[in-house]
Amino acid sequence: MDRFVKWFRNSTPYINAHRGKTFVVCFGGEAVMSADFPHLVQDLTLLASLGVRLVLVHGVTPQLAERLGKASLDLAYHGEIPVLTAAALQCVKDAVGTARLDIEAGFSCGLPQTPMDGAALRLLSGNFLIARPVGVRNGVDHQHSGEIRRLETPAIRQALHQGAVVLLSPMGYSTTGEAFFLQSEAVATQAAIQLGADKLIFLEEGTEAMAPRRPGQMDPAQAEAQLASTDFAAERRPAWAGCVQACRSGVPRAHLIPRQQEGALLLELFTRDGIGTLITAGQYDVLREATIDDIGGLLALIAPLETQGILVHRSREQLELEIGNFVVMERDQAILACAALYGFIEEDVGEIACIAVHPDYRELGLGHDLLAHLEQRAWARGLRRLFVLTTQTAHWFIEHGYRPGRIQDLPVARQGLYNYKRNSKVFIKTLEAAPAARSPTA
């Protein structure tokens, strides 16, 4: 008992430090199916009882595998992203629904003489995630696989303020009413970033044997070096990459904890040394016209997107010739985002092109600021109709007022340059009045 008293006393500073803070905790479907899941629920309940605002994100890997097996379906992958057919989507819905019900049941337990006695926690879930389709990549339509567009953060914050625990499933819904399957690690990462969480916590599977060798603390650069290692397990990459992205996007601390160790969450959060890996990192953005000195930064920003087939290739020489069409978003002399406006003056038409945001700063509104600025710029130049060609961001442009068009709607000169192999979709927007936008800072 003396050991317990000592631990409880030593936990007091952490209890005070965590009270009122927002933690995003991500765990896999394996945890939900585990016999130890009630213990995890009890530890999470304790956190909530101590005043921590909890957002939980769950995965469904084993649940989905079971349902796909029963349906004799296999997921085809293009890169690391599944091509999710309508039949597979139904399996996803079944898996998500089952996992969510099991989690809700766990948090509803309140038997006398158990840690859940009198807890009376409210667990809220719903359509908090706005998604978009992955779209066409290298000519392959990923159908119902999605990417996160944004979270309904006001609704989530209101639920947290009222004392509820918010549960996010790996399913998102588009503004067109479609459902898309998401990666749970990406959901957790974006939840932490967009909510301005104090901690992002991943409960990792199958890492208990590594615990003695786990580095206690590292910065994002060191974590990135770990990811680059050839022997780094592929299944661990999404969580580690999420921690790096979150820390570089303003989340103060990210934790990677071995889920199968008893009481891992409490040991990490309420002891001095913890048992997992802590990743920590250290904003003023400037929107301005691009200059010839930005060529190197632009190439570094857009090259990965060109490799993925999201953007068309632009050589250094082409960028130098077209630099006057570009604007950039800069922070601490580093280019975070860019976009370009090409004018077809004879037809009063402009093309929005090459919108690119550094992966560590996506979903923070930089793309919106750039698009709004280019629309204002187009209006000032007398361009009353804008078009964009895209393979993977159709829903984002639809949400910003662009509507599907045809190749024949493009300026004649642009029709001749259309790449039928890329099979880009055409979207058009008519400017009825001067748009509001940020002005570039000198």
Residue 17 CB contacts under 8 Å (≥ 6 apart), including other chains: none
**What CATH number has the domain bearing residue 321?**
3.40.630.30
Domain ranges, residue 289: 285-430
pLDDT at 89 exceeding the cut of 70: yes
388-428 pLDDT tens trace = 999 988 999 999 999 999 999 999 999 999 999 889 999 99
Query: For residue 207, what pLDDT is reported?
Result: 64
Range with the largest mean pLDDT of 20-34, 119-133, 366-380, 407-421: 20-34
* 231 and 314 co-located in one domain: no
* 60 and 205 co-located in one domain: yes
* 271 and 294 co-located in one domain: no
pLDDT average, residue stretch 194-213: 79
152-196 pLDDT tens trace = 999 999 999 999 999 999 999 998 889 999 999 999 999 999 999
Residue 440 lies in a domain: no
Residue 50 lies in a domain: yes
With pLDDT > 70 as the criterion, what percentage of the chain qualifies? 92
Query: For residue 215, what pLDDT is reported?
Result: 61
pLDDT average, residue stretch 232-249: 92
Reported as a pLDDT band with limits 50, 70 and 90, residue 361 is: confident
28-82 pLDDT tens trace = 999 999 999 999 999 999 999 999 999 999 999 999 999 999 999 988 888 788 8
Domain boundary at 259, 280, 301, which?
280
Per mean pLDDT, which range of 81-90, 105-114, 155-164, 197-206 is the poorest? 105-114
pLDDT at 1 exceeding the cut of 70: no
* 71 and 147 co-located in one domain: yes
Query: For residue 235, what pLDDT is reported?
Result: 87
